[in-house]
C-alpha cells in the first residue's frame, strides 16, 4: 500500500498540531472510534501505524469545506469582498511569519 495525501501517523499529527504525542494518540483513537480514520499497517516499517481517512472522514472534510465556503460568501456579503481579501492576506502573512515553525497553533 502506498501512502500519500490523506494519511499521517499519530506522531506526525502531533507535530502538525503542535500537541504532545500522547494528545495526538488520544485524538487518533477517538477519531478511529468515531469512524473518521482507520489505522493501517506500513509494509516498510511495522512500528508505523498510519492513520487513513475513511469514507466518513473524507465526507466530513467535504462537508466542512462546503460550510466554510458558505461562511466565506456570507462574510464577503457583509464586509465586502475587498475587505475579506485584505483579512485573508493578513492571515496568510501571519502564517508565513509564525506558522511554519509550529508557533502558530490551536489553543484548547
16-37 tens-digit pLDDT: 888 899 999 999 999 999 999 9
Dihedral class, residue 102 (left if φ above 0, else alpha if ψ from -120 to 50, else beta): left
Mean pLDDT of the chain: 84
Report the distance separating Cα 39 and Cα 3, nearest Å: 12
Over residues 40-50, the mean pLDDT reads: 78
Taking the C-alpha atoms of residue 9 and residue 12, their distance in angstroms, rounded to an integer, is 5
When pLDDT is averaged across residues 42-51 and rounded to a whole number, the result is 78
Of residues 9 and 42, the one with the higher pLDDT is 9
Distance CA 59, CA 36 (A): 9
| Average of per-residue pLDDT across 43-70 | 89
Residue 1 vs residue 95, higher pLDDT: 95
Q: Sheet harboring 37-39: ordered strands across? A: 7-8, 51-53, 37-39
Q: Rounded to an integer, what distance in angstroms lies between the CA atom of residue 38 and that of residue 19?
A: 21
Domains observed in the chain = 1-53 (1.10.10.10), 55-102 (no CATH)
Amino acid at each position: 500500500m502506498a501512502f500519500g495525501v490523506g494519511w499521517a501517523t499519530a506522531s506526525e499529527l502531533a507535530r502538525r498540531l503542535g500537541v504532545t504525542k500522547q494528545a495526538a494518540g488520544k485524538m487518533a483513537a477517538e477519531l478511529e472510534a468515531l469512524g473518521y480514520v482507520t489505522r493501517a499497517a506500513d509494509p516498510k516499517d511495522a512500528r508505523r501505524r498510519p492513520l487513513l481517512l475513511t469514507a466518513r472522514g473524507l465526507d466530513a472534510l467535504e462537508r466542512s469545506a462546503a460550510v466554510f465556503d458558505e461562511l466565506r460568501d456570507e462574510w464577503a456579503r457583509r464586509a465586502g469582498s475587498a475587505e475579506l481579501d485584505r483579512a485573508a492576506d493578513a492571515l496568510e502573512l501571519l502564517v508565513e511569519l509564525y506558522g511554519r515553525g509550529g508557533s502558530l497553533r490551536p489553543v484548547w
